[in-house]
Amino acid sequence: MTKLLFVCLGNICRSPSAENIMTHLLQQKQLDDQVQCDSAGTSSYHIGSSPDRRMAAAARQQGITLTGQARQFQAEDFEHFDWILAMDDQNYRDILRVDPTGKYHHKVRKMCDFCRHHPDHAVPDPYYGGEDGFRYVIDLLLDACEGLLEFLQQDGDFA
């Protein structure tokens, strides 16, 4: 079983969206028994909160339901997950800081590294923006999750 952890700042917009989009894609391809998805935030701002209602509405427009409760990224996550996917450069740096020896740095990647169509280098935080920003993030994450799934299949993580 391959275990993926998607990480953003508060774990109510970008990372739960990536988690649920990836789960949706895995179910469509009948691969959900081979990959486990979770999400977390680098901050403790929203621990226990559900995904942001605006993000959930944008995901619903694509036929994806957002579920989950926000939690904070922990050092133990390095042991439990095969891949840790940061939404932006600050999240990436914050995750690496939790591993000062660098033992697990090889597991940490930026989500946009897997985009196939979008040129973005980071998943923008839509929290303080309008409806278009939330829709854009869903489209961007769909692209990145499809690319990640392709990468995992090529890398031999699963069939």
Catalytic annotation on 54?
no
Residue type, 81: F
Of 88, 125, 135, 145, the active-site residue reads: 125
Q: Are 145 and 109 in contact (CB under 8 A)?
A: no
Of 13, 14, 115, 143, the active-site residue reads: 14
Catalytic annotation on 37?
no
Catalytic annotation on 88?
no
Of 8, 13, 37, 145, the active-site residue reads: 8
Query: What tokens were used for 122?
Result: 């980071």
- Active-site residues: which are they? 8, 14, 125
